[in-house]
Amino acid sequence: MKATTVSSILLLAATTVKAHYYFPWLIVNGTQSLQWKYVRKTRPDPYQSTKTADLAQPLRDLFSTNFTCGRSAWESMTTTETADVVAGSEIGFRINQGIVAEPNANQSGLEHPGPGLAYLARAPNDDLTTFSGIDGNWFKIAELLGKSDNEWKLHSYEQHKRHHPPRYPPGKYLLRFEHIYLQPSFYIGSQFFLNCAQINVLPPSAPNSTSTGEGKAGSASLEDYPYAKFPGAYDYMDPGIYIGENIYTEGLLRYVAPGPPLWKP
């Protein structure tokens, strides 16, 4: 198997599923971190309660600053650690379903159908402690869309990986992963589940590198890329968010994700 890269997004399979979820565990080359060690901790939905389960409540307001990295995620930017990730590594998240009785259990599984998208934004001066991501320049590194005309890749409870050359400019980034539950023909009906991890991208030749990726980090340019802003990149009537009932009859392979194009280094 070819080595996956820093843009690889991995979601681990589950034996049980629950409708809502969040992504507090970062996984690098198969090693899972402690919950919230590298992922910015968010707050529960204030309109529900303060229970752990309510961390799993989806976001619907596309223009809120919570849409950057999750509810009040900026509050934890000074306390979240940063994971070293060598370009060419496999990286992903594990899902927590918000089970109150087992808040630290390795629960995973996406019950809702819909696409998954991943973005990176580099911190100014490589300082993540002062970078909320709200004014960041986000570029899309992964799209997990239709597996077939009637099944989403993230609805099959398998491991999912993306393969790209490890050519990301070294530096400190926010890695934003979102899963969208699309509800056909419902205005402001789509639900967004998202979190951000803090990573430090190292070149393949970095000391202690265990990556088997090929190529050189930093050899690709983002000069002409149409960066996204979160909030601001999405609107409720975007074709990839407001979808008709016929999406499942015409085929999921025709679906076009919201946001800027996938960056291909």
Q: Is the dihedral of CA 199, 167, 27, 197 positive or negative?
A: positive
Share of the chain above pLDDT 70, in %: 74
The Cα 86–Cα 166 span in angstroms is 9
Residue 218: per-residue pLDDT: 47
Residue 16: per-residue pLDDT: 41
pLDDT per residue as tens digits for the range 37-55: 999 999 987 766 555 557 8
The Cα 165–Cα 264 span in angstroms is 9
Specify whether the CB–CB gap between 151 and 110 falls below 8 A: no
Question: 194: phi > 0 → left, psi -120 to 50 → alpha, else beta; which?
Answer: beta
Where do the DSSP E strands lie in 102-164? 116-122, 138-144, 146-148, 151-152
Residue 102: per-residue pLDDT: 55
Residue 67 host element (H or E):
helix 66-69
258 vs 119, 167, 178, 187, 239, CA distance in Å? 12, 24, 12, 15, 7
pTM here?
0.85
> Which domains are assigned to the chain?
22-209+225-254 (2.70.50.70)
Q: CA geometry: angle at 239 spanning 20 and 116, to 5°? A: 35
Q: Say how many C-beta atoms besides its own lie within 10 A of residue 42's C-beta.
A: 25
Which stretches of the chain drop beneath a pLDDT of 70?
1-19, 47-53, 99-110, 155-167, 185-186, 206-220
Residue with tokens 């291909």: 264
Residue 198: per-residue pLDDT: 98
Residue 105: per-residue pLDDT: 52
b/e map of 107-143 (b: 16 or more CB within 10 Å)?
bbbbebbbbbbbbbbbbeeeebeebbbbebbbbbbbb
